[in-house]
Amino acid sequence: MKTTGYATPAGRCEIHVNAPAAGFGSLAAGRKTAVVTDTTIRRLYPRLLAGRDVVALPPGERGKTLATVEALCAKFLKLGLDRSSFVVGIGGGVVCDIAGLAASVFMRGVPFGFVPTTLLAQADAAIGGKNGVNLDRYKNVVGLFNQPRFVLVDLDFLKTLPAREFRCGAAEIIKHASIASPSLFETLEKLPGEWASLKRRDLEAVVLRSIEIKAGIIEADEKEAGERRKLNFGHTLGHALERVGRFRHGEAVSVGMAMAAAISEARGLVSGQEVGRLKRLLGRAGLPVRPPSDPGPIVEAMRKDKKRRGRDVHFVLLSGLGRAEVREIPFRDLEEHVRDLCQHR
């Protein structure tokens, strides 16, 4: 087990990596605690939840709505929670997002912690205090920054995680390496292809590094005024791909990263060889890298992206494997790049 964490003006978040999930009760510091989870986790891990006040949501992104937050708050009231209580979210990124937001607005805010159960949530989504839900088809447009008191990462959950979800987590870890750590990138290149069969020690090291990278960025820029934007590498195009296609989030981000790397090459920031290394790493982890043949739907979806302000987009480019920079690019230029990549895929 390893403990790390980060501090923001609002306080400290303790992160325990490779620790047993059953420890969440004592981390809630003796407060009356409600557990928010989904029905998959409730079915797979009944013993973890035995004797607890549990609210189990239907799994999936479609439940990430304000209506769910409202229903959760009503449940909290029914369970007798008050301002001195605690909320623990046990699940993937979706559960953490909803639980964090509900805890943050219930009685103007009660403290909360996360026990992430997907690789994506463990290495990325549960870290950093972004809590939000979707509105119509717009992702995370209602939400707030608020940090969990703790994140408890139990790698045993990954034994039941479907392979496709495992790969989605790999995408975000590769993202962290690509924007901030040449050494993690090289470590990942040396791993065997199938991430799901990684040795426990390797997995622990990789997840820990991924968390440390993100924690460092959060400490420098909690509210995404600058440095934190780098974490959106692959996401401008990724979100667009996710909205139009059949991709899971991590898969869409994988294609988005491959495209953003190619755009970086077109702008003379990285070599074709470096782009090739990134694509190989993604491909070996079982992730897609090829842009779609028709740019139309992505360009349309990009137009609706909430992060787009005026005529320019903050776009994350690579300036090496392990180094990123954010540039304001005219939307028209980005559109041009996308059409080009889709044509020459």
Where do contacts with ligand ADP occur on this chain (CB under 6 A)?
A: 38, 40-41, 44, 59-61, 91-95, 117-118, 120-121, 125, 157, 160-161, 165, 168, 249
Tokens of 202: 């390797």
DSSP state of 326: E
DSSP codes of every residue in 243-259: HHSS--HHHHHHHHHHH
CB nearer ligand ADP, residue 38 or residue 222: 38
**Contact criterion met (CB below 8 Å) for 133 and 143:** yes
Query: Other C-beta atoms within 10 Å of 337: how many?
Result: 20
**Nearer to ligand ADP by C-beta: 92 or 132?**
92
Q: Residue 303: helix, strand or coil by DSSP?
A: helix
Both tokens of 117, joined, read 């159960």
Least separation in angstroms between residue 83's CB and ligand ADP is: 28
CA–CA gap between residue 154 and residue 90 (Å, rounded): 11
Cβ 23 to ligand ADP, closest distance in Å?
Answer: 17
The strand ranges marked E within 156-212 are: none
Closer to ligand ADP by CB, 139 or 230: give it.
Answer: 139
174 vs 262 by CB, closer to ligand ADP: 174
Give backbone dihedrals phi and psi of 80, rounded to 5 degrees, phi first. Answer: 85, 20
Residue nearest to ligand ADP (CB): 92
- Residue 68's contacts (CB-CB under 8 Å, 6 or more residues apart) are 57, 98, 133
CA distance 285 to 291: 17
The residue among 214 and 249 lying less far from ligand ADP, judged by its C-beta, is: 249
Task: Specify the residue, 167 or 228, whose C-beta has the smaller distance to ligand ADP.
Answer: 167
Distance in Å, CB of 41 to ligand ADP, minimum: 6
Q: Which is nearer to ligand ADP, 150 or 315 (CB)?
A: 150
CB closer to ligand ADP, 224 vs 242:
242
- CB atoms near residue 331 (< 10 Å): 17
Q: Find tokens 């979210």 and name the residue.
A: 89
Tokens of 280: 């190989």
Q: 150-153 and 11-17: which strand pairing?
A: parallel
Centre a 10 Å sphere on the Cβ of residue 73 and count the other Cβ atoms it contains. 17
Query: d(Cα 217, Cα 209) in Å, to the nearest integer?
Result: 13
How many secondary structure helices (H) and strands (E) does the chain include? 14, 11
Residue 76 or 157 with smaller CB distance to ligand ADP: 157
Minimum Å distance from CB 249 to ligand ADP? 6
Shortest reach from residue 19's CB to ligand ADP, in Å: 15
